[in-house]
Amino acid sequence: MEWLFVHMPIAGVDIFWPGLIILGLGVGIIGGFFGMGGAWMVTPGLNILGFPMAFAIGTDIAHMAGKSLVSTMRHGKFGNVDYKLGAIMIVGTVAGFEVGAQMVMWLERMGNVEVVVRWLYVVLLTFIAWMVFSDVSKAKKKAREAAAKGETLTDEHGLQWHKTLQKIKIPPMVYLKVAGIHCSIWLPIGVSFFTGWLAGILGIGGGLIRMPALIYLLGCPTHVAVGTDLFEVMISGVYGAGTYTFKGRTELVAAIIMLVGASIGAQIGAVATKYIKGTGIKVAFGCAVVGCLISVLMKLAVKYLPAFKFYLDWGATFLVLGLVAALSIYIFMKMLDGARKELAMKKARS
Amino acid sequence: MRGKIQLIGMVSSLLLLLVPAVAMAAGGGGAPIVIVSDTRDLEGILKWWGNLYNDSHLYFTLLTCALIPVVGVIFGVLADIVMSHIGIDLTSKDLPGH
């Protein structure tokens, strides 16, 4: 069975390479579908496969850069990427992240950083989950009411916070063609500053926050939010790969093996958005957020229940990996179903 | 066209100046670690790769940053070819509007 393991020249460990491909495939599907890097899923997965934590983070970012590039290319061809919006948002993201990072340092001096960050994470994930599911139920209720009147509605008419925010008319105004938004330039900068600030405090890529923010605060159609968020992830990923590699924390051999699965997965995830309505994407995203929330709570519980540390740590890790498996299978099946229908229609036409 | 070039130039400048913060957001910071790759038992490309790492972190980083997008694009194009061969239309998509 030696052939199933590959030696990592920098980390100096032997890794089960089919595990890397499967992990890459799973997070590739999820990342391409939701528009996020998925560090919260990959890092524990790599750690389980035998990577020291420092290499798990660096290798994750290196593979994420390649994966996001593939997803962005695909979404770009579908017309799901608003490059202008992405470019504007980089300004706010960077500034917001700097403020968040400074706040973390201030909290460190106060000695509260870990507690504040972990509980902020819990509050934020709870809020995002509530927001997504209440939006979906509101949209369904409106659709039922419209159906009773004999009308049909598009699938994105739940929470309408963006309509209030778009009333802000501070110049300069900007028209974002792909997203179909005409608003003050300060709105995307402000929203990205806010999401960047949160990402800076939590020390995450931000896809988990930015994707719903693009939908609910800016008013992007779900598919454009996914594509544009991936564009942002790609930019931060390429640079992140550079900085982590320079620090000697990236195992490129593992990243390339993961990319075999991730590039296929990213295509599957991106193509799946073609067959699944915005509501479907939101529901699946909400489930991912809930899973992430439970795993964070399990990690938090270790502090209060040290006797159960072993079970809580492993439980959290397997919950995340189980979530990756379940979501990627769901998305893959949906993609297959949609592709089958598309091919049948083509056949019928010809 | 001119506007697009200006936008690309502006974004590139911003990236050069500001992107370290975004990169940190992609994974958090931490103290740098010094590791030497043990190449004694390695052969072929893995030995060369390990030696490159030991010789120069800068070259190693530059090569990594160049390889990741290239590999990503190659695998992406291959997946494209397979999907196109199956018959899935990869160029058009109806967006559900607001």
Span A136-155, pLDDT tens digits = 888 888 888 888 887 766 55
Q: Is B72 on the interface with A (CB under 8 A)?
A: yes
Identify the CA nearest to A93 among candidates A210, A216, A217: A210
Of A247, A267, A343, the CB nearest to B33: A247
Concatenated DSSP letters of A107-148: HHHHT-HHHHHHHHHHHHHHHHHHHHHHHHHHHHHHHHHHHH
- Is 70 exceeded by the pLDDT of residue B60? yes
Give the pLDDT of residue A84. Answer: 92
β-strand partners of A174: A183
Q: Is A12 on the interface with B (CB under 8 A)?
A: yes
For residue A8 the two structure tokens come to 């990592």
β-strand partners of A5: A16
Give the model confidence (pLDDT) of A266-289 as tens digits.
888 888 888 887 778 888 888 888
Domain ranges of chain A: 2-348
What is the average pLDDT across A120-132? 85
Residues B22, A154: C-beta atoms closer than 8 Å: no
Give the pLDDT of residue B16. Answer: 46
Mean pLDDT of chain A: 83
Identify the CA nearest to A233 among candidates A255, A211, A263: A211
For residue A150 the two structure tokens come to 């004999």
Residues A58, B28: C-beta atoms closer than 8 Å: no
Report which secondary-structure segment, H or E, holds A2.
none
Give the pLDDT of residue A103. Answer: 81
Grouping H, G, I as helix, E, B as strand and the rest as coil, residue A155 is: coil
Residues B22, A97: C-beta atoms closer than 8 Å: yes
Residues A9, B15: C-beta atoms closer than 8 Å: no
Q: Which residue on chain A is closest to B16 by alpha carbon?
A: A239
Instruction: Look up the pTM and report it.
Output: 0.76
Chain A, window 228-247: residues with a beta carbon less than 8 angstroms from a chain B beta carbon: 233, 235-247
- Is 70 exceeded by the pLDDT of residue B25? no
Residues B95, A77: C-beta atoms closer than 8 Å: no
Chain B, window 21-40: residues with a beta carbon less than 8 angstroms from a chain A beta carbon: 21-30, 32-35, 37-39
Residues A271, B97: C-beta atoms closer than 8 Å: no
Identify the CA nearest to A340 among candidates A249, A264, A275, A269: A275
Q: Is B93 left (phi over 0), alpha (psi -120 to 50) or beta?
A: beta
Q: Is B91 on the interface with A (CB under 8 A)?
A: yes
Torsion over CA of A55, A60, A65 and A70, rounded to 10 degrees? 140
Residues A246, B58: C-beta atoms closer than 8 Å: yes
Report which secondary-structure segment, H or E, holds A250.
none
Grouping H, G, I as helix, E, B as strand and the rest as coil, residue B37 is: coil
Task: Tell me the C-alpha distance between A274 and A287, whole Å.
Answer: 20
Give the model confidence (pLDDT) of A190-210 as tens digits.
888 988 888 777 767 677 788
What is the average pLDDT across A106-132? 80
| More confident: A140 or A350 | A140
